[in-house]
């Protein structure tokens, strides 16, 4: 069981790095919860591969800093669609 979790943590990390994905996007792709993704990359991954963990942390920090922009864009699109329909 432990091997599976470690493999999943690495796969999740590789996906986040290659796609610059958010935790939410990654959770959907892997069919796990956001909490699981977060735990894999913040707690498990640093013990398995600290270098990859640092790369993932940088991407997630950037995503977190930009999320208010994505949220604003989503809200804008929602209301534009309501007015056009």
pLDDT score of 49 = 96
pLDDT score of 85 = 63
Report the chain (85 residues): mean pLDDT per 10 consecutive residues. Answer: 90 97 96 97 96 97 83 78 74
**Burial letters 22-54, b for 16+ CB under 10 A, else e:** bbebbbeeeeeeeebbeebbeebbbeebeebbe
pLDDT score of 1 = 61
pLDDT score of 47 = 96
pLDDT score of 80 = 80
């Amino acid at each position: 069981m432990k091997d599976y979790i470690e493999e999943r943590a690495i796969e999740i990390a590789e996906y986040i790095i290659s796609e610059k994905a958010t935790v939410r996007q990654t959770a959907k792709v892997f069919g796990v919860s956001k909490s699981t993704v977060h735990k894999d990359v913040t707690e498990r991954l640093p013990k398995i591969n600290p270098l990859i963990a640092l790369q993932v942390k940088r991407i997630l920090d950037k995503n977190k800093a930009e999320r208010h922009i994505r949220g604003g864009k989503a809200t804008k699109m929602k209301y534009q669609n309501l007015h056009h329909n």
